[in-house]
A = this chain, B = another copy of it.
Amino acid sequence: MSIANPHYEALKRTYGRLHRLTHLESMASWDQAANMPPGGNQARADALTEMAGLLHRMRTDPMLQAQLSGAEAEQLDEAQRANLREMSREWRRSNALPEALVERRSQATSRCEHAWRSQRPANDWAGFLPNLQEVLAVAREEARLLAERSGLGLYDAMMDQYEPGMTSATAARVFGELRTWLPGLIRAVGERQARETVVPAVGPFPLPAQRALCERVMKLLDFDFSAGRLDVSTHPFSGGVPEDVRLTTRFYEDDFLPSLMGTVHETGHGRYEQNLPRDLLGQPVALARSMAIHESQSLAFEMQLGSHPGFARLLSPLVSEAFGAQPAFEPANLHKLLTRVKPSLIRVEADEVTYPAHVILRFEIERALIEGEAEAADIPAMWDERMRDLLGQDTRGNYKDGPMQDVHWPTGAFGYFPCYSLGAMYAAQWFAAMRREMPALDEQIAAGNLSPVFDWLKRNIWQQASRWTTDELALRASGETLNPAHFRAHLTQRYLS
């Protein structure tokens, strides 16, 4: 028998090889954040740069173009055709950038991210700025080349890497609409909560007990520890590979909620990766759909589920077991602690009501940076102005809790931030769809039966991977494309009803 679809099969082999080599890259990046002593950084940056160049050469091998066109004419089934679509997208993106730029980006982001890890606690903006300027220079060049190839705008071309099909016009419209009702909602929730009595949790909360609690809650959320770990890093993230997911968190002795809810968030990312379909694993079609969809999983876990009143009932005994019983840990009070709305400085620790304000701020600043309307040195002033407008916070001189708080810009990930709030909107949309299908969902959560939630996500999102475009995926899962009305309804229902 002759080989059917020789072009497609050749592409499949190449993408399989890329998957196996990026495994080593992913693990080295995780290790860099979770384990690596500082003296190892230059060698690590050099090794990752070498690998980035090598992968780039594989992704831009001239042979691929002929194979991609050849495969278009072959007899492919629907999954193969979707895989070919994703391969072509990958190919267009990689071929827009010359190897020298890819290596320069790897060097610049490794250096900036590594230095940031000690500059951030030292509030050292002056030390951070030159590294960030280089990262921004590379990102602008990247945007220019991506835009040239795709016909998209500069910032749109950057966003397209994380959320294919999303434009800054759409993002601006969605966030613009959000701006019309969010400040009012924050005020209304603030007034309502000011009248409530909440018992604060009394620390300290020893780190080993926090760690054990986080792992216990990951088990409650069905994280598969035979194919993943929890470790510690400066900035929590979900890394590794689908077969071996590496989550990180960070601990504060005076408050257990950041590590706990950060872990619940990363567990959402982790379960998506652990449940991607295995039959085409390593192929582009078997990767997570997009970053907004990825964040819709982390926020489905952290916000929809983690801050659900029923979930507080499940957490309550585990928290008491970790730190000893306290009045603060009673389910109703714990739920209040988990749903406090309070304008604050740190995005990753923000409640779900004020969170979108953090994203709007970053979206506006990074769009201006990429489009050349602002420079890296302008960031602190722009930051402070928006924090004042949106959340009434003064951030002057406080860089570490201001523009140095996130890993995204040091690593050159401009265009990523909108995905968080788009993800929050999708997460609300998924839960609205679940409730239409399963009217008793909230009672089941409160009874500790989380499998209807996980089964729905597995069937509709995780196992679908990149088989469909984001719009098609949303339509199949929930009967409609992105509809921010569900997010507004969710916040109103949870915080004002």
User: Which A residues are within 8 Å of any B CB, using their own CB?
Assistant: 17, 20-21, 23-25, 27-28, 31, 35-40, 42-44, 46-51, 54, 224-229, 240-241, 243-244
Partner of A31 from the list B31, B50, B226, B243 (CB cut-off 8 Å) is B31
The answer to whether A39 and B243 touch across the interface, beta carbons within 8 angstroms, is yes
Contact B31 A44 (CB under 8 A): no
Given A47-B20, A47-B23, A37–B225 Cβ distance below 8 Å?
Answer: yes
Min CB distance A385 to B, Å, is: 40
Q: Which of A31, A48, A51 has the most CB of B within 10 A?
A: A31
Residues from chain B with Cβ under 8 Å of A243 in the complex: 39-40, 42-43
Chain B residues near A224 (CB-CB < 8 A): 39
In the assembly, what is the distance between CA of A39 and CA of B31, in Å?
A: 18
Decide if A21 touches B40 in the complex (CB within 8 Å): no
Q: Do A21 and B54 touch across chains, with their CB atoms under 8 A apart?
A: yes
Contacts of A44 in B (CB 8 A): 23, 244
> Would you list 8 pairs from A and B whose C-beta atoms are within 8 A, ordered by A residue?
A20-B43, A23-B47, A24-B27, A37-B225, A37-B226, A39-B226, A39-B244, A40-B243
Tell me which residues across on chain B come within 8 A of A227, comparing CB atoms: 37, 39-40
The answer for the CA separation of A20 and B17 in the assembled complex, in Å, is 19
Residues in B whose Cβ lies below 8 Å from that of A225: 37
Smallest distance from the beta carbon of A399 to chain B beta carbons, Å?
Answer: 25
Using Cβ atoms and an 8 Å threshold, which residues of chain B touch A244? 36-37, 39-40, 43-44
Interface residue from B23, B28, B31, B50 paired with A43 (Cβ < 8 Å):
B23
Complexed CA–CA distance, A480 and B226 (Å): 53
A53 shortest CB reach to chain B, Å = 9
Residues of B within 8 A of A51 (CB): 20-21, 24
Chain B nearest CB, measured from A45 CB (Å):
10
Nearest CB on B from A24, distance (A): 4
Q: A36-B244, A40-B243, A244-B37 are in contact. Are A46 and B31 (CB under 8 A)?
A: no
A39 to B225, CA, bound (A): 9
Q: Report whether B21 and A47 are in contact in the complex, using a CB–CB cutoff of 8 Å.
A: yes
Taking the closest CB of chain B, its distance from the CB of A224, in whole angstroms, is 7
Q: Which residues of B contact A20 (CB under 8 A)?
A: 43, 46-47, 49-51
Closest chain B residue to A246, Cβ basis: B35
Residues of chain B with a CB closer than 8 A to A27's CB:
24, 27-28, 31
The CA of A21 and the CA of B224, in the complex, are separated in Å by 30
B23 and A25 contacting across the interface, CB-CB below 8 Å: no
Find the B residue at minimum CB distance from A31: B27
**CB-CB nearest in chain B for A38:** B226
Q: How far is the CA of A44 from the CA of B38 in the complex (A)?
A: 25
Q: Which residues of B contact A229 (CB under 8 A)?
A: 35, 37
A495 to B36, CA, bound (A): 42
Q: A20-B50, A28-B24 are in contact. Are A37 and B241 (CB under 8 A)?
A: no
Instruction: Output the least CB separation between A449 and chain B (Å).
Output: 26
Measured between beta carbons, the chain B residues less than 8 angstroms from A23 are 28, 43-44, 46-47
Shortest CB distance A59–B (Å): 15
User: CA of A40 to CA of B20 in the docked complex: distance in angstroms?
Assistant: 12
Considering the chains assembled together, what is the distance between the CA atoms of A51 and B17 in angstroms?
9
Given A40-B244, A243-B42, A47 and B35 contact (CB-CB distance below 8 Å): no
Name the residue on B nearest A49 (C-beta).
Answer: B20
Q: Measured between alpha carbons, how far is A36 from B224 in the docked complex, in Å?
A: 13
How many angstroms between the C-alpha atoms of A243 and B20 in the bound complex? 25
Closest to A35 in B: B229
- Pair A43/B241 contact, Cβ less than 8 Å: yes
Q: How far is the CB of A66 from chain B (nearest CB, A)?
A: 22
A51→B55 CA distance, assembly (Å): 12
Closest B residue, CB atoms, query A274: B39
A38 to B38, CA, bound (A): 29
| Docked complex Cα distance between A228 and B40 (Å) | 8
Q: How far is the CA of A270 from the CA of B24 in the complex (A)?
A: 23
Separation of A37 and B39 alpha carbons in the complex (Å): 27
Complex Cα gap A36–B31 (Å): 12
Contacts of A28 in B (CB 8 A): 23-24, 27-28
Known: A31-B31, A42-B243, A243-B42. A24 touches B47 (CB 8 A): yes
Nearest CB in chain B: distance from A430 CB, A: 27
A21-B37 contact, Cβ under 8 Å, with A27-B27, A243-B43: no
CB distance from A363 to the nearest CB of B (A): 35
CA distance A48 to B44 in the complex (A): 18
Q: Which of A17, A25, A50, A225 has the most B CB atoms < 10 Å from its CB?
A: A50
